[in-house]
Structure 1
Amino acid sequence: MASTERVPDYDITRAAGCPLDPAPALRQVPGPLSRVRLWDGSTAWLVTGHAEHRALLADPRVSVDRTRPGMPRVTEGADGAMTDAEARRMAELAKQRSVPGLSFILKDDPEHARLRRMVTGAFSIRRVEAMRPAVRTIVDRFLDELTAGPRPVDLVEAFALPVPSLVICELLGVPYTDHGFFQENSTTIISRSSTALQRFEAMGNLGEYLDEMVGRRLVEPGGDLLSTVAERVRTGELPRQEAVGMAVLMLFAGHETTANMIALGTLALLEHPDQLAVLRDTDDPRLVASAVEELLRYLTITHGGLMRVAVADLELAGQLIRAGEGIIVVSETANRDPAVFPDPDRLDLRRDARQQVGFGYGPHACVGQPLARMELQVAYPALLRRVPTLRLATTLDQIPFKQDGFVYGVHHLPVTW
């Protein structure tokens, strides 16, 4: 492994004056593939270029299995470091409850592909398009409440978070009345500042909740996605704990990412009123779809990189990556690569941004991306048309950004009109 001398620290902190742009430290690294030093003094390869991003994520010689030696640990909490008291507490909890993992996203093929196929049908373009009228109804419901309520209002609490939460609840078959519970635990799981014990407890909370739901579907199946998963348990194709882990993944991934994109995308548009007008005033669904791709490219809410480890030697960008070496693949810089996106720091809703990698790439690309795209295509135009004079109720420097999350966004977004 290369010496840690003169190797820059891995720093994903975005600049206070440019919170919508990638971290300055990520943009200053030499070339599309370089070394960075992590919090514990170890080093990892950093992939920042677009072509290298796609090549690496499609390469079967890299693994997502976090139990493999060499997997990068970007925070002390992610590394599982605990005090003796925390370790004892985790051991006690492990005896009391069965804590699920995050199912197929942390597995390699062929097991990853086998499990993933069990849910891909629910997120097919045809199935998602059939949901569009129902999503419009949900969006209109929350916009009715928002416009009838007091102002200023927190757009995250009033619109960005409840819309995808209700959508995923209805898709899974989970009562929306419990949304506060799963939002609180989901936030703990994706926070970079959470300890290993806190994540373990949050996963256990969601696991117990969804294990009960899966149990109900085994007795009384319905037409929801939990029933589909439960049927796999009944036929013996899926262990019950794996089914619960799959449900946990879909529940929190199905609302956290889209909620952050709705809020952050709205902020970006408010900061670029000429582009806001493009989206607000068009009736062309193709332009709306293009605008969503550009917002996904420009903002790239995956925060902290995609962790991989090489399981065999491979060459990338003229460098040899040896088996056992850790790799961090950064999507936000890949989406600002000028070789693919001319003038990449400019938000241009008419740009062809279909090559954006905000959902990842290759076999582990986000399975729910058709649903996320559709929700954004409905939410942005509806909000901008219903509230055409929407504006920030504060200044950009007063908005609390999620620098501490594995998903980037804003904690609150005060708006008025």
Structure 2
Amino acid sequence: MLHLLLLFLLALRGQPGTGAATHDEDYVTRLREQFEYFKQLILHDLATKSDVVDFADYDLRASSLECEEPAEVTCNDLERIPDASCGCGDTGNLCDIQHKGDCKLSWQKSTHCDFFLNNTCHANCMCCISCSKNVETPCKGAGGVCEKSCGQFQYTSSHACHSNLCSCCHSVEDKGCRSSNGLSRCVGDPSHCGRGYYPNNILCESPGTCCIPCMALDACTNADGYCESYGHDCLPGFYEDDGGCETRNCRCCKPKTSNVCSRDGTLVMGPADICSPRFCPRNFFQENVGCSAPNRTCYSCKAGGWNKCGIEDSCTAKGGFCSKVGCGATGMYLEEPGGCTSKDDRPCFCCYPKCKFYNEEHHF
């Protein structure tokens, strides 16, 4: 009896009804959801009977192998589209229509899922959204690229991507920033300037800004001080003293006592460089020599450290990127030895995705 009922349901699957309801998308969606529910009930009953040998494609004992997280997850496990028996359908096609995503099982997280969205797919499934998917969008038409988040040399525009969770990113055009000071760079947001730099909104394409390093005069460096922008406090052990810098955008931070990091003459240091008792700020190269203090670790921080790693061909070929903080503990990214060359005393790591995606579906 169960076999006949299953055959009957399978025959009805996807068949439209009659009347005006056949044109009602909500009705069709509800009908398919009801079919899936009753099918799973029947399959569960079949799977518990030891004498069942047919309908192998719909046996829950077999389909569970496709749906449950395996003991050892392979790249194929992460990248495949779930089997239909998993009930992982796209509710109202929202995952595809709103995000150009794919419904994946909750454990199928990979480096290709920039976002993993709840409440979009059936069952215990989530919408895997890839911002770099090749999609025709207003962002692409305006010369931008869709990314999970924009980098420091990019600005975010209001042009739409295929998902509202992705950002439309454009490179910032230099309009004299670097030529005004070789240590300066155009960035997409003033917050990227960081410690030791001040913003100038004229020398880069709007809404980008030029980050210019604070330059110390002899009066400041001779007092073992350094120049800091007004957007940041002085380092611990230093106090603020107006003047001593080349521009009024910065002020001199002088040591409170002699027990602070100061230049020791073992490294050539410029007027924008800093001696620091802690890791150097984001846009500085970090060296282990050049600064010292009694009973304290010191670092010399050299301005202009915008690209601290040089990426090698072996890293590029694997779709990797360079990192100063390692590749993370998730196992999604692996390290390629020698794939990145450090430009200072802190090492660089080439991190490439464990599972490289070759069969990306294009949506238009």
TM-score bin, normalised by smaller chain: under 0.3
Looking at both structures, which has the greater relative contact order when contacts are Cα pairs under 8 Å and sequence separation is at least 6? Answer: 1
Q: Write 1 or 2 for the structure with the bigger share of helix.
A: 1
Larger gyration radius, structure 1 or structure 2: 2
Q: Write 1 or 2 for the structure with the bigger share of strand.
A: 2
